[in-house]
Amino acid sequence: MLKITDLVKRYGSGDPVLKNLDLTIEGESVVSIIGSSGAGKSTLLRCINRLVEPTSGSIELNGTELTKLRGGNLRAARRKIGMVFQGFNLVDRLTVMENVQSGRLGYISTWAAIMRRYPKEDIRRAYELMERVGIAQYANTRADQLSGGERQRVGVVRALMQDPEILLADEPTASLDPKTSEQIMGLLRDLAGELKLPVLINIHNVTEAKEYTDRIVGMRYGRIIFDDKPASLDQEAMDSIYSGSPHADRSEDLKAAS
């Protein structure tokens, strides 16, 4: 279970990007976060695995408080959080197998990592997952030779190799064409079911969010203003999520404060 309470993120002395945000994700649900650019979706995701340092608040994953972790403890916690990126973030000049195994780096010795001597069970698991998503034949191919959809599959397998307790996906389909994009969304949904894994997806495409996820969270300028089943996302809710400007929200804040 992921439990976020009163999360604030502020860059420098400016307006907070996340404003006292609360969110709880239980079980193996697939949750999508929608909202216009700059709503803080990406920051929220990166606060969870601490690629971005939260300013205040608490994030708890299965009983572990993440915001206070340092050094080795933080790395150990990150192993339990898989992440899929918009730009795939693969190491282009390494083979697909090396990219996939880099999800296990936190578990294996430095020597094994450098010599590429991966444990047998890791290799078996990698082949299973690669076969599951249909990229096993590329194990020895360099990552930059693959198509966008194939690259994102490598990204997904890398995240799953971590044996995560939650999967974060930051706009996983924004760099893909519509057909591939649906395939990847379907894959994420199916894998969540098969591996009993909660998945949290940032997404721009509302149609995909409705079709492939169990719950939609709508963000506007650092706040969650919608949180319900996809079926309840009506036109009115859509308007409130995608309208307004940070400035308008700020003046509302002032009114509320006075």
Partner 1 sequence: MSEARDTWKKPPFIANPAIRWAVYLGALGYFLWVGATMPIDWARVADGFGRAGRIFGGAFPPSFERSGLLIDGFLESLKIAILATTGGVLLSIPIAFMAARNVAPLPIYYLGRFIIIVARSFHPVIVAIIFVKAVGFGPFAGVLTLVVYSIGFVAKMLAERIEEIDFGQVEAMKAAGAPFFSTIFYAIFPQIMPRQIGLTIYQLDSNLRASAVVGIVGAGGIGATLANAFGRYDYDFALAITIVIVGVILISEGISGMIRKRIG
Partner 2 sequence: MTSISEQFGREDWSRFSSKQKWQRFAIFAVCALAIAWSISSIEVVWAWVWDAPSQMGDLFERMYPPDATNLATILRVLWETVNIATFATAFAVLMSLPVAYLAAQNTTPNRATLWLGRLILVTSRSVNTIIWALLFVAIFGPGVVAGIIAIMFRSIGFIGKLLGEAIEEIDKRPVEALEATGASRFKVIAYAIVPQVMPTFWAVAILRWDINLRESTVLGLVGAGGIGIILQGAIDTFNWPEAATVLLAILVLVILGEVVSAFLRRRIL
Contact residues toward partner 1 (CB under 8 A) are 95, 97-98, 116, 118, 120-121, 123-124, 126-127, 131, 136, 139-140
Asked if 197 is part of the footprint of partner 2 (rule: CB under 8 A), the reply reads: no
Least distance between partner 2 and beta carbon 44 (Å): 15
What radius of gyration, in Å, describes the C-alpha atoms of the chain? 19
Asked if 75 is part of the footprint of partner 2 (rule: CB under 8 A), the reply reads: yes
Distance (Å) of CA 192 to CA 28, 145, 185, 246: 7, 28, 11, 34
Q: How far apart are CA 134 and CA 186, in angstroms?
A: 13
Strand, helix or coil at 228? Answer: strand
Least distance between partner 2 and beta carbon 162 (Å): 6
Name which position in 4, 39, 61, 81 contacts partner 2 (CB under 8 A). 81
Q: How far apart are CA 190 and CA 153, in angstroms?
A: 13
Least distance between partner 1 and beta carbon 171 (Å): 31
Least distance between partner 1 and beta carbon 126 (Å): 8
Distance (Å) of CA 33 to CA 29, 78, 220: 13, 21, 10
Least distance between partner 1 and beta carbon 143 (Å): 13
- Site map 154..183 versus partner 2, x via CB under 8 A: -x--xx--x---------------------
Asked if 244 is part of the footprint of partner 2 (rule: CB under 8 A), the reply reads: no
How many other β-carbons are positioned within 10 Å of the β-carbon of residue 38?
15
Secondary structure of the chain: what % helix, strand, coil (to 5)?
45, 25, 35
Residue 233 touches which of partner 1, partner 2, none (Cβ within 5-8 Å per kind): none
Closest CB to partner 1 among residues 123, 206: 123
Asked if 94 is part of the footprint of partner 2 (rule: CB under 8 A), the reply reads: yes
Q: How far apart are CA 103 and CA 21, in angstroms?
A: 30
Helices then strands (H, E): number in the chain? 10, 10
Least distance between partner 1 and beta carbon 100 (Å): 10
Closest CB to partner 1 among residues 68, 116: 116
Residue 3 touches which of partner 1, partner 2, none (Cβ within 5-8 Å per kind): none
Residue 78 touches which of partner 2, partner 1, none (Cβ within 5-8 Å per kind): partner 2
According to DSSP, the residues that pair with 228 across neighbouring strands are 216
According to DSSP, the residues that pair with 5 across neighbouring strands are 58
Q: How far apart are CA 232 and CA 133, in angstroms?
A: 32
The contact set with partner 2 (CB under 8 A) reads 49, 51, 74-83, 85, 87-94, 98, 102-103, 105-106, 110, 113-114, 155, 158-159, 162
